[in-house]
Amino acid sequence: MVQAAHIRWLLQMGVALSILGAQAASAITWQEGWNLVVRVERGDQEAAKYLIDAYNQGDPDAGTAIGVLYLNGVAYPRDLGRAKSYFDWARSRGSGWASAMLALLHGNGFGVPADEKLSIALADEAAQRGYPGGKNLQAQQTIFGLRGRPSQEQLAASAAAIQAGAAQGEPLSLSALARLYFAGFPPGNIPKDWAKARALWEEAMGKGYLLAGNFLIAMYYYGYGGPADQAKAIALAKRLAGLGPFGEAFLATAYYFGVAGEPQDPKRACQLAQKSRDHLQGVTIYGLCLLDGHLPGGRAQGYAWLLKAAAGGNDLAKSLAPEWEKRLTKEEVDEAKRLLPNLK
């Protein structure tokens, strides 16, 4: 094991020595690339040196792996700009893995403006280049209706494509299959199985795909598919803050209630809740911030947000909504129900 600072120095040396004009067929496979990500993040100096040497020789997927390291921010601080630069470099040299990672960045707006059309085009490119994660992204986009209204046959085919990628151990596909098991997916004959979903997300994360951890935060916090571990959930939320609303929503929870040893800090919690209203946990804390007077807007509006989160299935909101209804006046409850359909 070596210190992260030494790993950073090795990677910076690789950048300085990079043969930017090199064109080479990828010597590192995508499977080896993900494995190198894991090894470098564990402090393996030999893996870091091997990766840099391959990058200096113009290996496209070595560049992709370095981009993933910058995206994850485990071996050194996260830098989405550098991650994208490495992905762009690798993509220009034919890496389908890089195309898939860029599809993720543009699809989610990580370090770049969200661009659905570009994400779809990049997923197509990744699939055409033979990366299984590309076909997985195409399948997810089909399931979520981003490629038009899918038929039952298209939904079944999409589930099969995700399963095929997962069978190869491809991390993005493992994470996507977990989502199907979490909710159940009848068109693909996939039952609802939270324990299976949790295990698949853990496998994806263990293979270097940190973004799979976004889904594990709630699994650990509420005990879905296994034991509850709020400390583990909040530690993971900290690692993923800034990569979607999941981490910030649960950090808001931790600061609002003083969970997992975090100091109770309603001001900080409410700031995070305002930023994470794309997640039902963030909606719940935002509603509480209004109800308790930590944010302007009034109790009726706060209860409306709480009802929205409860209707979406958030466990915390479902447990708190009946209690708050007893504390509010009839006029406040009626006003909240009037506001509810128009909340944005």
Residues 301 and 333: their CA atoms lie apart, in Å, by 9
| pLDDT surpasses 80 at 8 | no
- In the prediction, which pLDDT does 224 show? 98
* Interval 242-264 mean pLDDT: 96
Q: Which helix (H) or strand (E) holds 313?
A: none
Question: What are the b/e assignments for 227-258, b being 16+ CB within 10 Å?
Answer: eeebebbbebbebbbebbbbbbbbbbbbbbbe
| pLDDT surpasses 60 at 17 | no
* Interval 162-168 mean pLDDT: 98
**What percent helix, strand, coil does the chain show, rounded to 5?**
70, 0, 25
Mean pLDDT, the chain, integer: 93
pLDDT band at 20 (very low <50, low <70, confident <90, very high): very low
- In the prediction, which pLDDT does 124 show? 98
- In the prediction, which pLDDT does 140 show? 98
Q: What is the DSSP letter of 188?
A: G
Residues 94 and 110: their CA atoms lie apart, in Å, by 22
| Per-residue pLDDT reduced to its tens digit, 49-102 | 999 999 999 999 999 999 999 999 999 889 999 999 999 999 999 999 999 999
- In the prediction, which pLDDT does 144 show? 97
Q: Which of 172, 171, 218 is nearest to 194 (CA)?
A: 218
- In the prediction, which pLDDT does 27 show? 85
Check if the beta carbon of residue 219 is closer than 8 Å to that of residue 189: no
pLDDT over 70 percentage in the chain: 92
Cα dist. 266→85, 140, 271, 324 in Å? 38, 37, 9, 18
| Per-residue pLDDT reduced to its tens digit, 202-223 | 999 999 999 999 999 999 999 9
Cα end-to-end distance, the chain, whole Å: 48
Within 10 Å of residue 290's Cβ, how many Cβ atoms? 22
- In the prediction, which pLDDT does 11 show? 54
* Interval 140-162 mean pLDDT: 98
Full 3-state SS string of 24-71: CCCCCCHHHHHHHHHHHHCCCHHHHHHHHHHHHCCCHHHHHHHHHHHH
- In the prediction, which pLDDT does 12 show? 54
Q: What is the DSSP letter of 226?
A: S
Residues 64 and 83: their CA atoms lie apart, in Å, by 8
SS3 209: coil
Check if the beta carbon of residue 343 is closer than 8 Å to that of residue 335: no
| pLDDT surpasses 70 at 22 | no
**What CA dihedral angle connects 300, 306, 312 and 316, to 10 degrees?**
-160
| pLDDT surpasses 50 at 231 | yes
